[in-house]
Amino acid sequence: MSGLILMIASDVRDRQNHSVGRHGLWAMDDQRASMLQSTSECALLFQQFDWASSPLGPVDGWSPELRTLVDVTMNSLQPMLIVWGPEQIILYNDGYARMCGNRHPGGFGHPFRDLWYDIWDQVDPIISAAYAGHGTSMDDIEFIMHRNGFPEETHFAFSYTPVRDPTGAVLGMFCACTETTADVRLRREQVSERERLLRIFELSPAATAALTGPNHVFDFANAAFAAMIGDRDVIGRPAAEALPALAQAGLITSLDAVYRSGMPLTAHAMPLMLETDSAHTRGKRLIDLICQPMRDPSGAMAGILLQTQDVTEQLAEEEHRNLLARELAHRLKNQLAMVQAIVSQTLRSAGDITSARRALGDRLAVLGAAHDMIIKGGANTSTMAEVVAQMTQVHDDKLAPRIQVDGPPLRIAARPTLSLSLILHELATNASKYGALSVPSGRVQLNWDLSGPNRDRVEISWTEHAGPPVAMPQADGTGSKLIKAGLSGTQDCQVEIAFHPMGLHCRICADLKGFESEH
């Protein structure tokens, strides 16, 4: 820059020596009127300024270097600043004036330090380096300025260039600069917006990931997504490499189609073989999926936002609820048969009509309570003894009980309570119709206890004795399906039904944690 300035200044000096006319850069007959072609605010301010009383002196005595820089500065649209002489007097154009705030026009033609006194501790080393012959260039420098009467954070890109005379002595400094405060604020807002969105996605209960580029590279994955895939490290890796299960399910082809077309994709209950824990245990999961295309500011495809939800347990629970609903419908159809069995059993053991009426009313009331529990789904935690007692009051005889029960105190959560109540009533109903309770000599043994090496499982046993011969049915009815479905709310429930000639035996074994508490 200094070399260019010297070349221009030399040309001006030669033209002055040949008496350039009124239309030259610095015509001698009216220096300030003809030196500038610009009519900007700062150019007019320059023409009106009393330079004779300034340390720079009258304009006709200025060096060619300073005249050249003033002409370049006043005719430039880019903010420019000149600092000249040992007193560091400043001249600037309209672009730089806007950066001065309410300190313009007071700073024009005065020492540089007077203009930027509040940030002088930062500016002084840079201007001192320029006067020492060392240029400085920065893409971003931050100042806390009071240029408008209040503190504000500002940012600038600039270069300070020493200006020398033909002997090499430094005469002053020239600066071309740009205020970047608005750009910095915009970048911060964009970063802040991105961080805010990332926080929203991170807290989202839906498993969310961002894929970038045509190879679908993982750029972000929230905690829910990491948990769904077994906390595997996927960031920075293409989807096909990070999660081979996606390719096996044909999902990579679908992602390619979304990226090419820009059209979203949704899928429900997509089966995926996923490693769902840190031990890389693979299991089939059912996934709801939304693939939403993402575009850059120009509108071009940038990536895909992937939102997923593991609905395996939800769908299993829905199926279980449907099974219970079907069973409820089945049981309602058999109400007359149940009532008939209750009436027959009551009348058979009653001594007179009055006691028969009382016992029959009690048992029908218990039957109604059992159905209330089924419909409500077990609103409160029950005990094993309460559920069993409810069943025996409906199906057994108080005076001559034929269902023998035995087991320790156990709590049952709401969901297992509903399932167990249905199962026991189903077993008792079948026993009343076809099994041990259908004949006077028949008996049932109902036991429950804790089992397993850590006593972390509950085992329930229903065994019929002295009833009519039983045989395995040709096909499972809705009641059998309900029994085999096991206890809702438990993670690991096993049901075994054996049709022995001497009587039916049913064994139910489930995890104690799911049996006793909701989770």
- Domain at 350, CATH number: 3.30.565.10
Please identify which residue in the block is written with the tokens 């730089």.
96
The predicted pLDDT at position 200 comes to: 67
380 and 488 share a domain? yes
Average pLDDT in the 61-89 region?
A: 94
14-28, 125-139, 330-344: the lowest-pLDDT one: 14-28
* Angle made by CA atoms 288, 221, 194, in degrees to the nearest 5: 115
The more confidently predicted of residues 491 and 378 is 491
280 and 401 share a domain? no
Residue 458 to residue 455: CA distance in whole angstroms: 8
Average pLDDT in the 343-367 region?
A: 68
Residues 6+ apart with CB under 8 A from 313: none
Say whether pLDDT at 226 is over 90: no
Say whether pLDDT at 353 is over 50: yes
The more confidently predicted of residues 322 and 49 is 49
139 and 260 share a domain? no
Q: Is residue 191 part of a domain?
A: no
306 and 320 share a domain? no
CATH code, domain carrying 6 = 3.30.450.20
Q: Is residue 195 part of a domain?
A: no
Residue 469 to residue 130: CA distance in whole angstroms: 111
268 and 134 share a domain? no
The predicted pLDDT at position 280 comes to: 52
The more confidently predicted of residues 435 and 417 is 435
Give me the phi and psi of 292, to 5 degrees please: -110, 120
pLDDT band at 181 (very low <50, low <70, confident <90, very high): very high
Please identify which residue in the block is written with the tokens 């950066």.
99
The predicted pLDDT at position 390 comes to: 83
pLDDT per residue as tens digits for the range 200-209: 667 777 788 8
Q: Pick from 191, 472, 485: which is nearest to 319 by CA?
A: 485
The predicted pLDDT at position 108 comes to: 96
Residue 216 to residue 235: CA distance in whole angstroms: 11
Q: Is residue 196 part of a domain?
A: no
Average pLDDT in the 42-56 region?
A: 93
* Angle made by CA atoms 255, 259, 260, in degrees to the nearest 5: 120
pLDDT per residue as tens digits for the range 268-291: 887 877 765 555 556 778 888 888
The predicted pLDDT at position 66 comes to: 95
Count of domains for the chain: 3
260 and 393 share a domain? no
306 and 326 share a domain? no
* Angle made by CA atoms 417, 421, 425, in degrees to the nearest 5: 175
- Contact between residue 254 and residue 291 where contact means Cβ atoms under 8 Å apart: yes
- Contact between residue 296 and residue 304 where contact means Cβ atoms under 8 Å apart: no
- Three state DSSP letters for 273-326: EEECCCCCCEEEEEEEEEEEEEECCCCCEEEEEEEEEECHHHHHHHHHHHHHHH
How high does pLDDT run on average in the chain? 81
Boundary-marking domain end, from 310, 327, 359: 310
The more confidently predicted of residues 470 and 128 is 128
Q: Is residue 189 part of a domain?
A: no
320 and 306 share a domain? no
Residue 294 to residue 333: CA distance in whole angstroms: 55
Say whether pLDDT at 314 is over 90: no
Element (H, E) at 16: helix 2-17
The predicted pLDDT at position 54 comes to: 95
Q: Is residue 438 part of a domain?
A: yes
101-105, 210-214, 232-236, 464-468: the lowest-pLDDT one: 232-236
The more confidently predicted of residues 276 and 510 is 510
165 and 53 share a domain? yes
- Contact between residue 81 and residue 175 where contact means Cβ atoms under 8 Å apart: yes
Tokens of 199: 């926080």
The predicted model scores a pTM of 0.43
Boundary-marking domain end, from 274, 293, 310: 310
pLDDT band at 378 (very low <50, low <70, confident <90, very high): very low
277 and 378 share a domain? no
The predicted pLDDT at position 371 comes to: 58
* Greatest mean pLDDT range, 156-160, 311-315, 375-379, 410-414: 156-160
pLDDT band at 443 (very low <50, low <70, confident <90, very high): very high
pLDDT band at 13 (very low <50, low <70, confident <90, very high): very low
pLDDT band at 370 (very low <50, low <70, confident <90, very high): low
The predicted pLDDT at position 29 comes to: 37
305-319, 397-411, 425-439, 497-511: the lowest-pLDDT one: 305-319
**% residues pLDDT > 90 (the chain):** 37
Q: How far apart are the two ends of the chain, measured CA to CA in Å?
A: 74
247 and 167 share a domain? no
* DSSP designation for 135: -
- Contact between residue 92 and residue 72 where contact means Cβ atoms under 8 Å apart: no
180 and 209 share a domain? no
The predicted pLDDT at position 10 comes to: 46
Q: Is residue 197 part of a domain?
A: no
Sheet containing 503-511: order of strands: 403-406, 443-451, 457-465, 503-511, 493-500
The more confidently predicted of residues 208 and 64 is 64
The more confidently predicted of residues 124 and 344 is 124
Boundary-marking domain end, from 310, 330, 345: 310
Q: Is residue 193 part of a domain?
A: no
Give me the phi and psi of 230, to 5 degrees please: 80, 30
The predicted pLDDT at position 267 comes to: 83
Please identify which residue in the block is written with the tokens 């705030």.
101
Calculated CA dihedral for residues 263, 267, 273, 276, nearest 10 degrees:
90
119-123, 180-184, 192-196, 226-230: the lowest-pLDDT one: 192-196
* DSSP designation for 111: B
The predicted pLDDT at position 19 comes to: 34
* Greatest mean pLDDT range, 30-39, 104-113, 342-351: 104-113
CB atoms within 10 A of CB 515: 26
Tokens of 49: 């300024």
Q: Is residue 190 part of a domain?
A: no
The more confidently predicted of residues 4 and 459 is 459
Say whether pLDDT at 350 is over 60: yes
pLDDT band at 39 (very low <50, low <70, confident <90, very high): confident
Query: What domain range is 118 assigned to?
Result: 2-184
